[in-house]
Each structure stands twice: as structure tokens, then as C-alpha cells.
Structure 1
Amino acid sequence: MAHEGEAQFGDYFALLKPRVMTLVVFTAFVGLLVAPVPVHPFIGFCAILFIAVGGGASGALNMWWDADIDAVMRRTSRRPIPSGRVTGSEALAIGLTLSGFSVVMLGLATNWAAAALLAFTIFFYAVVYSMWLKRSTPQNIVIGGAAGAFPPMIGWVAATGSISVESVLMFALIFLWTPPHFWALALFMRSDYDDAGVPMLTVTHGRPSTRRHIFVYTVILAVFAVLLALSPISGPVYLITAIALNAWFVFGAWRILRRDETDAEGDNYLVEKRFFRFSLLYLFLHFGALLVDAALLRLGVFA
């Protein structure tokens, strides 16, 4: 492994997977704000900060463990460890240190139930998903998606001290979104997973089966997304947003289902890439709508 000069601050920051952290922070922030218990702004800021640090710790531990397959995959070969800018032992030390720091500080800032849930989330992503599921089963994304679905629940527990139906529905939204999101990516990035020996569904069951799975999961996701509109934390903004987004998402999944490989290769997976790009906005728009409804409720608009 060739070294390409001294590591910069940006290389260490990249270990924390900042793009993934953006989603973690935003969904945790929404979970905290839509909770029925008011939180002091400073305590809320600290809670989101430590949840973000915990998410970054998970990313560092994942990069430490996955350095060998990251080096093989084109999409990840420029990451800090495979490119030689950061050593595996440095990434491990950063991940473990930030894990302990984030859990303890979240417990001190809010409550130990939230801290315990954050600790479980880090363990689930680093050990259950990265070390076990990712390399052993095509259900890696299905089960492993739970790791990314916990942040709004952690935010909710930080505010209320307990888990509720509303927090479970927010968890379900992200959990069910994860498989179609990643399987769409896998459809046009399959060679990466082939080369790395990662048993993604496209590798183990083929693209036609993956297309069917995407459609089924998207339909189930749409049901849960609209179901969330019936909960106390949502209002008309979320309802309209959920109906519109999920109608479009299901239509996109249907288009993917109807295509064969000749069509897909002919336009360089244009439909799949559009579905994937839309999936990136999907969660932000749903949780953003929850945030708008919460603000309108507190302003007395729905009173």
C-alpha cells in the first residue's frame, strides 16, 4: 500500500463519513424536536453533537474493518486507509475513543437510556453489520439498515427518556428505505461488489431478483411512510409530502422492475441512477416535513 504523504485534518475527518453523518444529525435533530417534551436549546445542541460524534465513531470503526475491501472497490479506493494516508490502527483508536466519549457525554447531557441506545447503535454498525452481516449474507443491507435507522429514536429518547410508537415509526421509515436505496446503487455498481467479494443481492441472486426486491420493499416503505402521517407528530404538511413522494418512489421502483438488462445497459442504467438520486432526497424531505409540522403545531397553526 503506497503512502501518499502525511495525513491532513481532512483525512481524519473523512474517517467519520461526514456525508452519512449529515443524515444522522438531521434525523436525530428531528427526533429530538418532534418529541412532546421540550428540551433546553443548549442540552439539545449537546445531544445532537454527541449523537453526531457517535455516528462518526461508527464510520471510523467501519473504515478500519473494511479497509481491505475498500481498497478493491472503485467507489471507496480513495478513502483514507486504502490510499495510505491514515493507518488502520489510527482509525481504530479514533473510533474507540470517540465511541466512549460520545456515549458518556450523551448520558451526562441527557439521560442514560439515550446513551445506551447510542452505544448499541455503534456496536450494531461496527460489529453486527460491518464484521458479520456485510460479508456473510445478501440480507446485509436489510438487517444492517437498522444501524442508520436509530438516530431519530436516540433523539426522541434523549428528550423523553423512553421509546414510543412515534419513534418506532421514524425508525421504520429509515429501516425500510435503506434496502431499495442501496440495491438501486448496487444495480449499476455491481462489479465493485463482485470484485470485493461482498454478497450483495445483485451478486448472489442477480439483477432481476434485485429489481423485484426493490419494488416490494418500496411498496412496504410507502405504507409505513403514510402510516406515520396518522401519528401525533405529523400534520398536513407531512401527509401531503408522504403521499406525493411515495407515489413517485413506487412509480420509480415499478419502472426499475419492468426493465431488463438490455434496456438498462442501453441507457447506462439511467432509470436506476435517477431512482438512487431521488432516494437521497427522500428521507430529508420526509423528516423536513415532520419538522415543519412540529413548528406549525408549536405556533398554534393547527390548534
Structure 2
Amino acid sequence: MYSFGNLRNLEVNTNEKLPAGVENKNFFCRGEDSLSEEGKKLLSILPKEKGWIGSYIYNYQGCWTSPRFLQGVIACQQQFQAEDSDIILVTNPKSGTTWLKSLLFAIMNRVKHPIFEPNHPLLVKNPHVLVPSLERTFYVDGQVPDLSTFTSPRLLATHVPFASLPKSTSSQIYTNFIEEMFDLFCEGLSLHGPFWNHVLDYWKQSIEKPNKILFCMYEEIKEKPKIQLKHLVEFLECPFSIEEENCGVMDEILRMCNFENLSNLQVNINGKLPTGERNKLFFRKGEIGDWKNYFTTEMSDKLNHIIEEKFQESELKFSYV
């Protein structure tokens, strides 16, 4: 009665919703039964802990992940062949991924898809479709896609920590459980966490390889979008021409890719990804400091202490208020 397969196929979990409007089926991703035999054997020996919504997460190469995405990570490590021209966006979940995907797509495709065209792909497709994830789209469930036909430079994304990259290369519906999830986060038990390891590893790599890795923060882009966008195109070696600047291309990219515009497009209100997730779930508020509406004073103090402790030996500074 309580098996994953049985619960997932119940009518209430197939077609009904929570009072907040979230579809029940969103809580039933594929379970361990969908794993390959190799994946099941690996899970049996990996450290595991209870995840944020009841299922288990597993520690693989120092990173916590779900069974399904673990198989995607392994398949990606074994099969993905990076190219020098690849552009790979690496983020923590819920840290501005959708926005950055839209900006990258608009920047890198502004010749093929002029930003002023009425049927620009960003107006009719979700950014996660246009800049797909390695472990969550291409290699999920252990698939082996053929990426050789993709036009160069390939725009790709991942949440995978640096240590797990292929060698060739939170509050609206869980309010009742926020304190429990907060404690798990503080213990490092979050998908693709610990958060601080994920951030520090890429930050250190950006110092060592400044021509290969650009490290940026959501808050910096939010506060100074034009400056950060210019920084981004210069890093990608595709700076705006004088003609583009005079024609307002940069301003139009920022307008098209801003939170209000993307979140109000029909494709993002009513559409779904091929994997079944509703596009609107990728758009929350797009604000800095909204955490203050949910954290207690004790939670805020605890998080500040953790950030100070984990990042004190680096020059990395956070501005999240």
C-alpha cells in the first residue's frame, strides 16, 4: 500500500492538488525502482539521510543528491565529452538559474534570433528548454544522448559540484516544514550540497582559471544588471558592438529576460517541461532578502554564524539582505 509505485499511481496523487495549488504528482519523482542495477548497488553503499520532503538523499563524492539525479550525474561523468567552446552554467538550485539561462541564450543567439523579433524563442519557450541541464535533462535516468549535432558553442547547465564534473570538462509550499528544512540545510543536507562546498569550490576555480570560469552572484546581477551583463559578454568574448548599444540591444535583453516579463508569459504560466514540471514553478518572486519574511531571529543568527564560519578563510563576501 505504501510503496512508491502504489502511492504515485493513486488518483489523488495523479490528478489532484494541494490547497496552495501545487499538483500532488510533483512530489512523486521516479523512485529507486527506476535505477539501473549498477545504480541500485551504488545506493546500497552510499551514506544517506532524510531529504527535505521525506525521500532519502545520498552522498556521492561529497555531494548530496536524489537517486534519480545520481544516475544522471554518473551517466554524465561517464559519457559527456566537453568541447573547448562549451558554455556551461553552474548554479545552486533556486539561485537565479532561470534568469541566467535566459540572459545567456539571448546573448549568445542575438545574431540568429535578434532580440527585437516578435517570435523570439524566449517568448514561446521556457529558458530550461533552451538551455538544458546535463544531469537533469540529457543524462537523467542514465540516458546517453548524442550531443555532437548541437551547434557550437553549446549552451548547457548543471547543478553538479566541481568535484563531480565530468573529467573532460524553497518556501511557498513547504512553509509548515521550513524549520526542519532549515536545520537540514545547516547540516549540509540539501540537494547538491553542502551549499558552502559547492560555492567555494567554484569560487576557488574561478580564481585559478579566470579565463575559463566566471563566478557571479544573483544579488550583484540584480543590483547592477547593465554592469554585470557587460562583464558577462566580455567574458564570453562576444561584447556588444557600438551599433548594438546605440540600438538598445542590451536594454532589450534585460527587459525581455527580467522576472516580471518571463513569469507573465503564457508559456511560463501554463506550460510544462518535457519532464512534466510546470514552468511556473521556476518563478518565485525574484527578490533579494525575501528570506526575512520566513526566518526567525534565531534562524537568521544561526545562518549568519555558519556563513561566517564556512567562508572566513576566503575573500568571498555575501550580500543577501
TM-score where L is the length of structure 1: 0.30
**Greater per-residue strand proportion:** 2
**Greater per-residue helix proportion:** 1
TM-score where L is the length of structure 2: 0.29
